[in-house]
Amino acid sequence: MDFSADSSYLQVSTGSYKRQVYEVPSGKQLVDQALIDRITWATWTSVLGDEVIGIWSRHAEKADVNCACVSHSGINLVTGDDFGMVKLFDFPCPEKFVRTCF
């Protein structure tokens, strides 16, 4: 669960692997992708979204990557997976099948 930088929006990742964005405090779900793309997030802990598509390896299944967190500077993303691997990426990571930073 992450708040936008201005606390006007909230994003969540569901158990069915969907990213959903809501207005705060109304709770109205946003579906306009152009508006969602313009939101600046204060934090990022989701494994879903165009910003993190590159964290998924070519043969990964949906449940393989369990957690993600963007650094306070907003330039790095770390993930944890089912195989005990901790991986470091540049953030955002919008290109499919990128290599980790190290």
Cα 92 to Cα 99: distance, rounded to the nearest angstrom = 13
Domain that residue 63 falls in: 44-101
What's the whole-model pTM score? 0.83
Convert the pLDDT of each residue in 40-89 to its tens digit: 999 999 999 999 999 988 888 888 999 999 999 999 999 999 999 999 99
Cα end-to-end span (Å), the chain: 27
Domain count, the chain: 2
Query: C-alpha distances in angstroms, 85 versus 64, 67, 88, 101, 102?
Result: 10, 11, 10, 13, 12
Share of the chain above pLDDT 90, in %: 80
Cis peptide before 94 (omega within 30 of 0): no
For residues 83 and 62, membership in a common domain is answered with: yes
State the chain's mean pLDDT as an integer.
Answer: 92
For residues 53 and 89, membership in a common domain is answered with: yes
For residues 48 and 36, membership in a common domain is answered with: no
Number of residues written out for the chain: 102
